[in-house]
Amino acid sequence: MVRVVAVVSLVLSALGAAIGIKLDGNGYTDLLIAINPAVPQNDELINQIKDMITSGSQYLFHAVEDKVFFKEVKILVPPTWKGNYERAKRETYDKASVFIDRPNPIFGDEPYTKQMKGCGEEGEYIHFTPDFLLDDDLLDAYGTREKVFVHEWAHLRWGVFDEYSEEEPFYLFGNNIEPTRCIKDIRGRNYKVTNGKHVHCPTDVATGLPIKGCQFFPDREQENSASIMYMQSLDSVKAFCGFMDHNYEAPNMQNKKCDYRSTSSVIFGSSVDSDALNTLQPLPSPPPPPTFTVIQRQHRVICLILDVSGSMKGERILRLQQAATLFLSEIVEEGAQVGIVKFSTNAEIVSPLTTLQGKESRDGLIRHLPKTVDGSTNMCNGLNLGFEVLKKDDGSTKGDDLIFLTDGEATDKVEDCLQSVVDSGAIVNTIALGPSASSVLITMANLTNGKFIVADQSLLSNQLVDAFTSFILSDGDPTKQAIQLVSIGKNTADWFNGTVPIDRTVGNGTTFTVIYEKSIPTVHIEAPSGRVYNQTHVTNHQETKTITLNIPGTAEPGDWKYSFLNIRAAAQTMTLTVTSRAARDDVNPIIVTAEMNQPSADGSKPMVVYAEVKQNRMPVLGAKVMATMESDTGHSELLHLLDNGAGADTLKDDGVYSRYFTKLKNGRYSLKVQVTREGGNIPFTPSRQGGSLYVPGYIVDGELQLNPPKPPVNVQPADVGSFTRIATGESFVVSVPPNAPPPNFPPNKVTDLSAEILEDTVLLNWTAPGEDLDQGTAGSYEIKWSEDLEVLQKNFSGANVLNTSALQPQEAGSSEQHQFLPDIPIPNGTTLFFALRSEDKEAVKSDVSNIARVKKFVPGPTSTETPDPGLNMSAVVISVCVGTLVVCLIAAVAIYVKKRQRNSGVI
């Protein structure tokens, strides 16, 4: 018990060693900004970053009630930059919160934030281009850089969304055309600009809204201080939109994603910092400027620390040899330094640091992989000797990598060396081989910014190979990465065959690796051109039962066919792993990353699986993405991930495929994602990420002053042919309390409900939820409507009911549609609001959906004479009210008066 308490105490005290933004008192620390290797060296870029964050710290401080500021910032420069930079510790490119990178083909130089998760949840990263930081011509349209940074920071840290909308720039409020904005008191005019000339916006007779191409031009001088998430470029804007100012009518992402709550309500009510922001006292004076550290990583230095205790005998040591051989021969990049340590009762250096320079150096390391096992599991001996190996290059372990593999509990006192592991500055990646591997592996990985991977010894699962294959270089240059195309196994008495598409983004260093259980199979691999590779072209490593085929040069794109014949009478297991690298230095390969939304779960909340498929930050759409979660206790789940903007998926067509993981059973789980896509152009209709608004111009002294036109982007659909990818994510832990009943999650909230009026009928569309969140089939729907948005927001149960008895829910993810004829006529000019919720077969209800708005607009002379919405609502109340006539009339008059007040701006 004492040892457990000691380890737990160390974990809690050393959590600060891990990478990630932290709020230390009133100051944010560990903000990591990374410059992509493709950006040429420019010291002025670093100066501009510092200026932006320094000024942004003051701006943020005043925007959030004088409570928080930026305290410590690190800037990670590329390895190729020359200068006297501090050595990076555990800061790696892929862990950065802000990237300075080439323009995203979709956004050009526009700053944006990648948000994969929901309202109030942290985003993934902020993206700035060098031109945005260096070109002052962009400042009129976007505002000063510090304002833009704070706008993006609110996306990233607090999970709020934009209060403007490029998809719906205007909406009808009563009889008035309103720009989509928050707050509504921002003054301006609507114009359409063509060839530098402007006209007042014509109205589309079909919709009553301004025609396409019309824009809202704000007055340069405003009296209002909000809102940063709408138009940060205005000089008067210094605050986030609060409850009293919030425009919940606007059809923007903030309202849609955050249930019509104001930005401030999310920041102070449900973001990662809400508790702190509500308890922190305002500082009596402005904070000091941030401290900046410019850091740099060099080539990788890696030490494999491998368990060779007695429990590693048999299949386990063989699997270790097979997986480590593939890692050393194909995955680690040229120029890296690699050493190997084995440990059991004692530890031994089996290979000192070796610089990888071609096949001979790699083969030398492979020959030193341990083959025999014996003794106990003294982890500290292995770790301490591994650190000695890492010091041999420059006397330090700072920023170096360990890959630590074990299959058992420690027989020594791990707490005796755990603090030294944290203090080393090394990144410790851990592999738990089998269900008995120590839980301290999770602690070590968490405290050192490493990965924790679970693997079993089964050859068929290929999990240990997948684990080693996931330890790729992460310096921001995907052309250097080894990419896993295929990982598949089969137990067969005859043929193991199939097809591997090699797409046009990869092809260099392509390797087919076959691991067999008993005897070498006959090999037949056929290139798209018909060229055949057979037994004479492969290398058979008999000791590790591995066949390797290295394709010379660049593998030709297309479908490669493989056939392996088991010539034994008895069945045996064979696995195939195919890896490749970018076809050329100027071609960005398709990359897949996989992760869970949290590293552990106790059954009270579902987990979410994410897989992002991209090429140079461009989303890859239309892929089939399958995720496998397999625990060390034998529980396995296969989920089809979707990019449909429903259920667990936050944004449709952003290249992030998601699904809830609801069948939570105890165990440590591996995560593996397989992505496939048939040939042809990749469709391009991506959803917009949250970003800063580009203002086309301002009204100054009554005159329109235009900003330079927003530079156009010319995005062409990628045509890479068919492709496959395999990605292994970090493992996670499910620990449901003993005797707790299985979780019964409700159907997921519908987030894409839409409505339209077709003559006298109303058509509703949405994506079907499931029985348990976004899986299975819900039991029933409950649909309500009102002419008052607030009714559905605050009193869903009291709103008008639609008859849904004939509406049978479809399977989760299906397109649902419900068309109905209202009981009463819908007068022209009427605005209706709809919302729904579903329930499962045990009557557990979902949250209320987003609220869909629709306005009946009939073109023609009558369209300009829309009845007062208060009168419409009164008529509805009278027609449906149940009770005495007097009560109904009183209710109708009250609603009418309220509507009149709102339309006149009284409330």
Q: Which residues are catalytic?
A: 152
Query: Positive or negative CA dihedral for 245, 246, 252, 258?
Result: positive
CA distance 346 to 327: 25
Strand partners, 549: 512
Amino acid at 459: L
Provide the token pair at 326. 């593939």
Identify whether 851 is preceded by a cis peptide bond (ω within 30 of 0): no
Strand partners, 736: none
CA distance 795 to 542: 72
899 three-state secondary structure:
helix
CA distance 59 to 758: 48
Burial label, 825 (beta-carbon count in 10 A; 0-12, 13-18, 19+): exposed
Contacts of 795 (CB under 8 A, 6+ apart): none
Interhelix angle 145-158/43-63, rounded to 10 degrees, is 70
Q: CA angle, corner 171, sides to 907 and 215, nearest 5? A: 115
**Burial annotation 336-363 (CB, 10 A radius, 16+ → b, else e):** bbbbbbbbbeebebbbebbebeeeeebe
Count of helix runs (H) and strand runs (E) in the chain: 17, 49
CA distance 495 to 498: 10
CA distance 210 to 16: 53
54 three-state secondary structure:
helix
Contacts 24+ apart (CB under 8 A), 770-773: 770/647, 770/811, 770/812, 770/813, 771/747, 771/812, 771/840, 771/841, 772/660, 772/662, 772/744, 772/745, 772/746, 772/747, 772/840, 773/606, 773/647, 773/648, 773/660, 773/662, 773/745, 773/746, 773/747, 773/748
Strand partners, 572: 492
Q: Where are the beta strands (DSSP E) in 493-623?
A: 495-502, 506-516, 522-526, 532-534, 539-541, 546-550, 558-565, 572-582, 591-596, 600-601, 607-615, 618-619
CB of 137 within 8 A of CB of 714? no
Residue owning tokens 């000019």 = 829
CA distance 755 to 834: 8
- Residue 691: other Cβ atoms inside 10 A: 22
- Tell me phi and psi for residue 417, to 5 degrees: -120, 0
Provide the token pair at 289. 């400027």
CB of 436 within 8 A of CB of 409? yes
List the one residue out of 527, 514, 98, 71 whose CA is nearest residue 291. 71
CA distance 460 to 441: 24
Helix residue spans in 40-196 (DSSP H): 43-63, 130-134, 139-142, 145-158
CB of 120 within 8 A of CB of 55? no
CA distance 54 to 291: 9
